[in-house]
């Protein structure tokens, strides 16, 4: 009896050790992923040389959560509060005034324009080194308003396993996100194993200047590039210069990235994270103000994209 129990434990560990995706239920999605990887890494007509194994992942809603707001928006609001003493005029000026009163809804009533104004006011006017420190300090201390977790604890365990699995198969993985490139770079290597040079994102303009004898990259309050929707293939082309063979996203903002990736020659894979788990994470798609998923959901079947249902495909959601 004792021996049989030990044997069972041993066998279970063995099977788990063999399974590169232990947090994924053994569904059609998991099988499709592992079949694809087996196909392109096996000698034969579908073999893809390691140098061309480029995978691109959206970040918000794909690698970490994005509700009730993009986490970078929480960063912006916290920065506004921190910087308020230097900006007495914000007390009277929208959208800053509402943020300072804690009324996020009114602050965001101005839509993208308001968000952009707040992003510029908080992301520019300092050196890249200074900004990196601000982000690093915030990301290691700020907590999510409803879960009370660090934001980096709200990354998806199954996706971490997928990144590791692809890397083990010689994929080079890039983040391609609508989020700020410099907001992600300070922590993506530690959290996802993705180094800064493999992060593509939205950016503001910068200039090089020697200030008091010290060379610096100065962040300017001008938009440089928006890495969303049709901007994603452009960002991919600009940064990577190769067409990926694997793309993962979760919203209509990823449509063009999925389309560009999966319409190339040879074997291709498109993966969509569908947030179907109100209990363990969040449930939203067509009508969400964040991460709206409609067109991608409609076209996925005919385009052969895999849809991950969080609820059904994932054994666990967040790392323990």
| Residue 233 is a binding residue for its own copies (CB under 8 A) | yes
Rounded CA gap, 263 and 243, in Å?
A: 10
Rounded CA gap, 135 and 191, in Å?
A: 14
Q: How far does CA 149 lie from the centroid of its chain?
A: 17
| Smallest distance, its own copies to C-beta of residue 72, A | 16
With CB under 8 A as the contact rule, the residue among 97, 240, 283, 294 that binds its own copies is 240
| Residue 301 is a binding residue for its own copies (CB under 8 A) | no
Q: Which listed range, 116-124, 198-206, 245-253, 310-318, lies at the site for its own copies (CB under 8 A)?
A: 198-206
Q: In the complex with its own copies, which residue's Cβ is closer, 231 or 249?
A: 231
With CB under 8 A as the contact rule, the residue among 210, 287, 301, 320 that binds its own copies is 210
Q: Are residues 280 and 317 in contact, defined by beta-carbon separation less than 8 angstroms? A: yes
Kind of pairing, strands 269-276 and 172-180? unpaired
Cα–Cα separations (whole angstroms), residue 4 to 16, 17, 217:
18, 19, 64
Radius of gyration of the chain (CA): 21
Q: In the complex with its own copies, which residue's Cβ is closer, 222 or 312?
A: 222
Q: Are residues 305 and 22 in contact, defined by beta-carbon separation less than 8 angstroms? A: no
| Residue 277 is a binding residue for its own copies (CB under 8 A) | no
Q: In the complex with its own copies, which residue's Cβ is closer, 59 or 256?
A: 256
Cα–Cα separations (whole angstroms), residue 154 to 86, 147, 166, 172, 208:
32, 9, 21, 23, 35
| Residue 112 is a binding residue for its own copies (CB under 8 A) | no
Q: In the complex with its own copies, which residue's Cβ is closer, 44 or 241?
A: 241
Please give the sequence-ordered ranges of beta strands (E in DSSP) within 188-250, or none if there are none: 199-211, 214-225, 246-249
Rounded CA gap, 195 and 311, in Å?
A: 30
| Residue 215 is a binding residue for its own copies (CB under 8 A) | yes
Q: Which listed range, 34-42, 108-116, 227-235, 302-310, lies at the site for its own copies (CB under 8 A)?
A: 227-235
Q: Are residues 201 and 175 in contact, defined by beta-carbon separation less than 8 angstroms? A: yes
With CB under 8 A as the contact rule, the residue among 46, 197, 222, 298 that binds its own copies is 197
Q: Which of residues 122-181 bind its own copies (CB under 8 A)?
A: 128, 172, 174, 181
Q: In the complex with its own copies, which residue's Cβ is closer, 156 or 192?
A: 192
| Smallest distance, its own copies to C-beta of residue 203, A | 7
Give the residue carrying structure tokens 């560009």: 260
Q: Which listed range, 62-70, 109-117, 204-212, 273-281, lies at the site for its own copies (CB under 8 A)?
A: 204-212
One symbol per residue from 43 to 72: x for binding its own copies (CB under 8 A), - otherwise; what is it? --------x--x------------------
| Smallest distance, its own copies to C-beta of residue 44, A | 23
Q: In the complex with its own copies, which residue's Cβ is closer, 39 or 242?
A: 242
Rounded CA gap, 280 and 179, in Å?
A: 24
Kind of pairing, strands 269-276 and 283-284? antiparallel
Q: How many residues bind its own copies (CB under 8 A)?
A: 38
What are the φ and ψ backbone dihedral angles of 42, each rounded to 5 degrees? -105, 135
Interface contacts to its own copies, rule CB under 8 A = 51, 54, 128, 172, 174, 181-182, 185, 189, 195-199, 203, 206-210, 214-215, 217, 230-234, 237-242, 256, 259-260, 263
């Amino acid at each position: 009896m004792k021996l049989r129990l030990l044997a069972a434990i041993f066998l279970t560990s063995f099977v788990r050790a063999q399974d590169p995706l232990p947090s994924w239920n053994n569904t059609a999605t998991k099988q499709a992923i592992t079949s694809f990887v087996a196909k392109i890494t096996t000698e034969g007509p579908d073999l893809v040389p390691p140098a061309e194994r480029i995978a691109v992942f959206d970040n918000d809603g794909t690698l970490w959560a994005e509700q009730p707001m993009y986490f970078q928006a929480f960063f912006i609001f916290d920065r506004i509060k921190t910087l308020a003493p230097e900006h007495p005029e914000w007390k009277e000026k929208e959208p800053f005034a509402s943020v300072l009163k804690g009324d996020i809804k009114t602050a965001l009533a101005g839509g993208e324009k308001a968000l952009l104004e707040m992003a510029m006011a908080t992301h520019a006017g300092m050196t890249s080194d200074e900004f990196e420190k601000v982000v690093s300090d915030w990301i290691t201390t700020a907590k999510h308003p409803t879960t009370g977790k660090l934001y980096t604890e709200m990354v998806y365990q199954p996706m971490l396993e997928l990144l590791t699995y692809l890397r083990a198969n010689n994929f080079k993985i890039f983040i391609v996100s609508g989020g700020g490139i410099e907001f992600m770079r300070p922590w993506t290597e530690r959290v996802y194993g993705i180094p800064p040079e493999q992060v593509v994102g939205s950016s503001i303009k910068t200039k090089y200047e020697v200030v008091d004898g010290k060379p610096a990259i100065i962040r300017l309050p001008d938009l440089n590039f928006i890495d969303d929707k049709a901007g994603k293939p452009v960002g991919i082309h600009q940064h990577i210069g190769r067409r990926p063979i694997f793309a993962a996203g979760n919203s209509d903002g990823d449509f063009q990235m999925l389309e560009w990736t999966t319409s190339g020659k040879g074997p291709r894979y498109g993966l969509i994270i569908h947030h179907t788990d109100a209990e363990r994470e969040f449930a939203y798609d067509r009508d969400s103000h964040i991460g709206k998923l409609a067109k991608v959901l409609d076209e996925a079947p005919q385009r052969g994209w895999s849809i991950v249902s969080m609820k059904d495909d994932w054994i666990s959601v967040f790392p323990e």
